[in-house]
Structure 1
Amino acid sequence: MAGGTAARRAKALIARLDLTNLAEDCSEADVAALCDRAETPAGPVAAICIWPEFVAFARRELSARIKVATVVNFPMGGADVDATLAETRQAVADGADEIDLVVAYDRVESDPGFVEAQVRTIKAHCGHAKLKTILETGRLFDEAAIRTACHAAIAGGADFLKTSTGKVEVNATPASARMLLEEIAKAGGTVGCKPAGGIRTFEDADGYMRLAETICGSDYPSPDRFRLGASGVLADLLAVAAGTERPGGKAGY
């Protein structure tokens, strides 16, 4: 890939990045540092994704052009809809722009209607916030189950399909992202897609965006419809965008 093309794509990927800290020991100081990193030399990331208890703080710290995303029913994807509703309402009241909901993925195969209803109920209480549904594709194990989860989430009114929590052994993969994108295309191409977890290099990130362009069209992966959930890829994207030496000693483009 020519240097200029790679740099342009790296900047585009930064603008589609949900810069994430969902570490168990995350502190307010860590969130403040994440907010600082979100305003990069190559432009702002799309959003930061953090624990619910930090939403109000992050919204005060960030400029309005960077979204605050948070997680609910995370990471286990239980079936307690009332508890998830309480989390969602509080997050929206605190200023969350986006809610990343872990669906009850262990019920996808036996009761997809429950998942559809779960998504619909949470969506109805998101207010202005977009709803990203985390399907935990690495725990669904086969293609039929992943596609069933996509159908349930889309039918429930999800704004995005997201692959993973980043907390299990298998997170985003090109194969799982392809399935999500194919189901999005079948449904009209208006639902967003967010590969998340295990995205560490420019090549990883760019591969997902190229997949989105191939399946859903070259104009599909705008920041409103395509995101990447990652914490460690930003340094590599910045190096490629600037044409400087990459982490790990890789040559810049």
Structure 2
Amino acid sequence: MSVISVRQLAFGYSSATPVLKGIDLEVPEGSVFGLLGPNGAGKTTFLSILAGLIPCPPDRVFIDGRDWSTPASRPAVRLALVPQEYAFYHPLTVRENLAFFAGVQGVPKAQIESRIQSAVARTGLGERLGSRAGKLSGGLKRRLNLAIGLLNQPRLLLLDEPTVGIDPHSRHFILETIRQLGREGTTIIYTSHYMEEVEELCDRVAIMDHGQILRNGPLTELLAEAPPTPRRRESSLEALFLELTTRELRD
């Protein structure tokens, strides 16, 4: 069963060149789905539509069988977007941010403290609850971003480049958290520049560039399709990406 069904989705900002060009995609329930592509491929715009931040036309995007063009359908889906940008208040402490966003997300007052404790346990922030968010390292800020996204216990989690520019310890914590959420049945869409992360985490992958899906399928099938390469540091997915796009992934 697909949690997300996208049918010929096109989108552009005003009269500019279209950002998305006829996207077709199915995301099965409980999958960890990697959306791979360079800057400017359209990944963030696509996630913003799934998160309900950008309107979509009727009969193009369905989540849990609901037409996503109808705002009234959205509260019924427990969904969270963890953006690439830091999405919290720097003057507040970690606890204050988590309590504030739990309220915004509609977590019942009686459950806020237990949700905070669960989120910080998953992200390793338990000893940082009293720290000012703006004083945290880059890696801990990324973990706080993720913790905020976990407060409403989402069934569908959208992660936009969650490990960009962080230290190895925080990267490990974030990747382990994502693995555990996947094992628990959370449906995850994970966008990244980093081939090795996608290969580690994801069971299905789509390669996207210039607003189009170039390949989409189970990770094993894409790896089998990848051409051989003499460059040891280059993963199989990277070889396939280069064959499809003729340009480096990290441009």
Q: Identify the TM-score tier after normalising by the shorter chain.
A: 0.3 to 0.5
Q: Relative contact order, CA 8 A, sep 6+: which one is greater?
A: 2
Whose radius of gyration is greater, 1 or 2? 2
Scaled by the length of structure 1, the TM-score of the pair is: 0.41
Scaled by the length of structure 2, the TM-score of the pair is: 0.41
Question: Structure 1 or 2: larger helix share?
Answer: 1
Question: Structure 1 or 2: larger strand share?
Answer: 2
